[in-house]
Amino acid sequence: MEPIEILKQFNSCYINIQTIAQNENWLLLIAEKKIDPEAATHLGDGVHGRNR
């Protein structure tokens, strides 16, 4: 896989993860403790960490 292909794939995945992290239903699942809190934290950290 070429570097540009890796970057394109990463960006695509990042957009999907960001969409999930901001989704009202995802936040509801976290509030209802149906998502492992550590997993939710890691996903949030990943999304917010890239925006630094």
- Give domain limits for the chain: 3-48
pTM of the predicted structure, to 2 decimals: 0.68
Residues 6+ apart with CB under 8 A from 30: 37, 40
pLDDT of residue 47: 73
Q: What is the pLDDT of residue 50?
A: 56
> For 1-52, what is each residue's pLDDT tens digit?
999 999 999 999 999 999 998 999 999 999 999 989 898 888 777 676 655 4
For 6, the 3-state DSSP assignment is helix
